[in-house]
Amino acid sequence: MVERKASLDELSGNLTQNRTRFEEEMATYSGKKYLLIENATYEDIVKNNYKTKFSNKAFLASIHAFNHRYNLEIMFMPNREITGYYLYGVFTYYLKNILR
């Protein structure tokens, strides 16, 4: 499963106003999950470089909790153009692994 967020602002909304729905989506799928956060870096969270009022401490706690709770691989895509390349690699090697 791949979940893509266009920004930290979008993700913060999922972790605050829509947290129950977002958490249910993560819990529903038992396989490998990827969360791609475009136009952002981990440092952007640390330095509060986003437009919502979600504290950086709570933001970091939430993404790390989701990572461990739902086996969620979190990838920051500071340049949106690399998202397609990353997904191509994920799906290509997933398929190669299955076909072995």
Reported as a single tens digit per residue, the pLDDT across 21-42 is 999 999 999 888 999 999 999 9
What pLDDT sits at residue 80? 85
Every domain of the chain and the residues it spans: 2-99
Contact 8, 40 (CB under 8 A): yes
- Give the rounded distance of the alpha carbon of 69 from its chain centre: 13
Cα gap 18→59, rounded to integer Å: 14
What pLDDT sits at residue 57? 98
Give the CA radius of gyration of the chain.
14
**How confident is residue 45, by pLDDT bands cut at 50, 70 and 90?**
very high
Q: Between 19-28 and 56-69, two packed helices, what is the crossing angle to 10 degrees?
A: 20
Percent pLDDT > 90 in the chain is: 92
